[in-house]
Structure 1
Amino acid sequence: MKTDSFYHIIRQGFSGLFHICVEELKVAFRDQGVLIFLILVPLAYPLIYAFIYTNEVVRDVPAAVVDADKSSLSRKFVRFVDASADVHIQSYCADMEEAKTLLKENKVYGVIYLPESFSSDIAAGRQTTVSIYCDMSGMLYYKAILLASTNASLDMNKQIQIKRLGNTTDRQDEISTSPIEYEDISLFNPQDGFASFLIPAVLILIIQQTLLLGIGLSAGTARENSRFRNLIPPGRYYQGTLRVVLGKSAAYFLIYSIISAYVLCCVPKLFRLVQIANPSTLLAFAIPYVLACIFFAMVCSVFIRHRETCMMVYVFTSIPLLFISGISWPGAAIPDFWKVVSWLFPSTFGINGYVRINTMGATLYDILPEYRALWLQTGIYFIIACLVYRRQILLSRQRAIQRLKQIRLRRCQSDLKKR
């Protein structure tokens, strides 16, 4: 008898889990808001971001020149800058006021100023100065103009040194101008592309944020449709904590197993981003990350009272989470307080782990701290989700009992009036 009762409980638990999973999938595909955030947004957002940065680097940045020297040497320097792939000399200005006007009107993004003593200083063997003024609202514009001007100055320095050496061989000129030969190699991002640097981090963050939006919206809808603002309906299938948490998470995991494969594998391949990850390593890493994001979103969804609230959470957290992850801003420069805060979010460990796996070819052993942290988050957020959902189930049951008592009381009062 005890064995039969035990098997009956297990059967009933799995039946309830399957029912909750199916119901959650129905909500995901019937509710337009949940459908947009859980499926359409993660499908479309990566494409939008990747298309924006598809050129990888900024080329032909428009710049203005103020040549106060007007000598053949100063014109040669300007030609060197204009010949680079990064900068295009769009305007030659008579003075700095004219150049400032172009800068304010966004017709150019930088100004190169050559002083009146440019050629005379060089002829006299004195060091001269070339000033650069850039629009710092665009860091890539600043980088392009600075690199083009620096390379132009280095090339002219070599030519000036060779001219002063006199009659020498080409090999002697080479050794004199470059006694130490150097080679600039960009590891894991050979084209120095902005997309290869930023997009992998954004892809990981999209998974977490869309889960927050979708699960939060579903929770807000459940509360708005409930007379007593219940997150969990008072049905017989929703009486067990484990079946509720596992049933809901199973539905989200089924959806995001496909979404994650698309976001993490197909999008980088589609836009030819750096992708040297081992498939088995990436799969082993993606599983705890998706689970941690699901349970984290389920915990946060308990505090969502209205459908619109989750949008505020998304807008408020997305950019800060990208910064405190240590990708777009150096992790060593992040204050300790914000480092600790970043450990609360799966995206912090997910971004750092995925970038190393996908872009640097790291193994699980190489990213063991991030991998362990994600499994730890999965366990902690699963336990918290069980606790908060258990409370929601009890509240739903209490409200259902109170409602039944009120109905019975009204019936009794109605019977007494009839008598």
Structure 2
Amino acid sequence: MSWWRHIIFELRALIAHENTRMTVFIAAVGYAILYPLPYQHQLPTDIPMAAVDLDQSVASRRLLRMIDATPQVAVDRTVSSELVAQDLVAAQAVRGYLIIPKDFNRTLLRRSSSTLAMGGDGAYYLLYATQAEGVMGAVGALNNEISELIQLRGSPSVVNNTSAPFELALVNAFNPQLGYRNYVIPAVFLLILHQLALMGMATMTWVQRQRGVARDRYQQSWWRESSARLTAFLSVFLLLSLLYFYVLLPLYHVPISPFRIGVVAFLGVFFVATLLLGQLLGRLIPHPQIVVVVVIMSSLPLVFSAGFIWPVESIPDWWHLLMSAVPATTGIQYFLQIHLYNAPLLSVSSELIILSMIAVVTALVDYWLAARQRTSMPRTGMATEDL
């Protein structure tokens, strides 16, 4: 039988087997629809904040009104001390507090430095950062107002000394909305495809091994079996990747780079390494449900090891080296560079080499294991045309 007919057989088996069909197709569509939903309203607004106004001046009240007018923060209440504000944060009645020191108004008019203190719950970094953004914007606006007032009332020398030589405009190139969605969803989409590829390939390998289909159909040829199954699964997951990254991401308003062959080439190497690892797992496990449990339990460690949520520099070297054996750890962060940031494929050449090494080592171990299993198992004589 020709190699192309073997590929068609693997595709038919992928569609026909219920567990594999559920894992590869239905789960892929379900995750693509359900996962981005919490990020549709990704930017928090009107975060409640308490104010500790120790100055009680015109300038301090003006600052609080300006902070309350920002879309990020709502000054919920004014309290008498920092301890009261901390108790409110601990009770989650507010998410942060601002301390305005004494003599705030006088130091501003003298053009001396005045230090504002802001506190908040660091466990919710997005809320904390959004509050800081709102406070800094209001402080900057008040500072400009006072500078203009001094310039209007001062002498020419004062105007020259207080006027800024230029203005700095900051533009966020790759994450203009400063939200989680633009950098989390593409990375998690690739992690989802990685996990589904592992589970689907392992399940199909286990099923054919248990039923003797692969041994009888491919006549003891590891190469024909692996290449046909790998080509079938690779074509499916490349199509799912195009759906995820070039159809669904624009629908969710996530900025992406134009379609490039380099992105598909990187995904091809990534999925080859992933699918070969899945095939190896399918030969090792006694039951495919074990793979489902292992893959699901590994998802959270992979998320924090991939570098798009937790900095790689903060991960212990031994742990990062251990997790680098999984294609997701190497692939996700550098896929974002070429897909979102439009980096050239040559900039991730070292990562392509690592993925290729993972694929080669996994294939060699799988070949050795398959040879041992085939020599130790008797022929069943089972029909090979269907599962």
Same-fold call, TM > 0.5? Answer: yes
For 1:76, the aligned partner's letter is R
For 1:214, the aligned partner's letter is G
| Structure 2 equivalent of residue 406 of structure 1 | none
For residue 326 of structure 1, the aligned residue among 292, 304, 307 is 307
Offset at 1:175?
Answer: 6.8
For residue 71 of structure 2, the aligned residue among 85, 94, 99 is 85
| Structure 2 equivalent of residue 349 of structure 1 | 330
Q: Residues of 2 paired with 1:271 and 1:170: CA distance?
A: 53
For residue 252 of structure 2, the aligned residue among 271, 277, 281 is 271
Offset at 1:241?
Answer: 1.5
Offset at 1:221?
Answer: 5.4
| Structure 1 equivalent of residue 181 of structure 2 | 195
Offset at 1:183?
Answer: 2.5
Offset at 1:400?
Answer: 6.0
Q: Residues of 1 paired with 2:162 and 2:252: CA distance?
A: 44
Can you list the C-alpha shifts for 1:325-380, whole angstroms capped at 9, x where unaligned? Answer: 22223334444333433432222332233212221222223332233433443333
Offset at 1:314?
Answer: 1.9
Contact 1:325 1:351 (8 Å CA) reproduced: yes
Q: Residues of 2 paired with 1:313 and 1:303: CA distance?
A: 13
| Structure 1 equivalent of residue 355 of structure 2 | 374
Contact 2:273 2:359 (8 Å CA) reproduced: yes
Q: Residues of 1 paired with 2:267 and 2:9: CA distance?
A: 25
Measured at CA, do residues 114 and 221 of structure 1 come closer, stay the same or move farther in structure 2, by a change above 3 Å? farther
Measured at CA, do residues 242 and 143 of structure 1 come closer, stay the same or move farther in structure 2, by a change above 3 Å? same
Measured at CA, do residues 184 and 388 of structure 1 come closer, stay the same or move farther in structure 2, by a change above 3 Å? same
Q: Residues of 2 paired with 1:116 and 1:172: CA distance?
A: 26
| Structure 2 equivalent of residue 386 of structure 1 | 367
Measured at CA, do residues 261 and 110 of structure 1 come closer, stay the same or move farther in structure 2, by a change above 3 Å? same
Offset at 1:140?
Answer: 0.5
Q: Residues of 2 paired with 1:296 and 1:110: CA distance?
A: 47
Offset at 1:97?
Answer: 5.3
Offset at 1:291?
Answer: 1.5
| Structure 1 equivalent of residue 341 of structure 2 | 360
For residue 121 of structure 2, the aligned residue among 124, 135, 150 is 135
For 2:170, the aligned partner's letter is D
Q: In terms of Rg, which structure is larger?
A: 1
Counterpart check, 1:178 vs 2:164: yes
Contact 1:238 1:244 (8 Å CA) reproduced: no
For residue 193 of structure 2, the aligned residue among 178, 197, 207 is 207
Q: Residues of 1 paired with 2:8 and 2:33: CA distance?
A: 30
Measured at CA, do residues 23 and 171 of structure 1 come closer, stay the same or move farther in structure 2, by a change above 3 Å? farther
More divergent stretch after superposition (206-215 vs 176-185): 176-185
TM-score by length of 2: 0.84
Q: Residues of 1 paired with 2:347 and 2:363: CA distance?
A: 26
State the secondary structure of the residue aligned to 2:170: coil
| Structure 1 equivalent of residue 275 of structure 2 | 294
Q: Residues of 1 paired with 2:318 and 2:335: CA distance?
A: 24
Offset at 1:145?
Answer: 0.9
Contact 2:150 2:159 (8 Å CA) reproduced: no
Measured at CA, do residues 29 and 161 of structure 1 come closer, stay the same or move farther in structure 2, by a change above 3 Å? same
Can you list the C-alpha shifts for 1:149-206, whole angstroms capped at 9, x where unaligned? Answer: 2222233333344445563599975872434532212232233232112222112211
State how many pairs are aligned: 381
For 1:18, the aligned partner's letter is R
For residue 5 of structure 2, the aligned residue among 8, 18, 43 is 18
State the secondary structure of the residue aligned to 2:285: coil
Measured at CA, do residues 396 and 232 of structure 1 come closer, stay the same or move farther in structure 2, by a change above 3 Å? farther
| Structure 1 equivalent of residue 99 of structure 2 | 113
Counterpart check, 1:155 vs 2:136: no
Offset at 1:96?
Answer: 4.5
Q: Percent identity?
A: 22
| Structure 1 equivalent of residue 384 of structure 2 | none
Contact 2:338 2:344 (8 Å CA) reproduced: yes
Contact 1:234 1:400 (8 Å CA) reproduced: no
More divergent stretch after superposition (147-156 vs 124-133): 124-133
TM-score by length of 1: 0.79
Measured at CA, do residues 142 and 172 of structure 1 come closer, stay the same or move farther in structure 2, by a change above 3 Å? same
For residue 30 of structure 2, the aligned residue among 44, 61, 68 is 44
Structure 2 unaligned blocks of 5 or more: 382-387
More divergent stretch after superposition (254-263 vs 124-133): 124-133
Counterpart check, 1:313 vs 2:313: no
Contact 2:212 2:380 (8 Å CA) reproduced: no
Offset at 1:139?
Answer: 0.6
Offset at 1:222?
Answer: 6.1
Contact 1:278 1:361 (8 Å CA) reproduced: no
For 1:241, the aligned partner's letter is W
Contact 1:158 1:177 (8 Å CA) reproduced: no
Q: Residues of 2 paired with 1:352 and 1:318: CA distance?
A: 15
For residue 50 of structure 2, the aligned residue among 64, 69, 76 is 64
Q: Residues of 2 paired with 1:371 and 1:171: CA distance?
A: 61
Q: Residues of 2 paired with 1:330 and 1:244: CA distance?
A: 40
State the secondary structure of the residue aligned to 2:52: strand
Q: Residues of 2 paired with 1:18 and 1:75: CA distance?
A: 78
Matches within 5 A, 1:250-265: 250-265=231-246
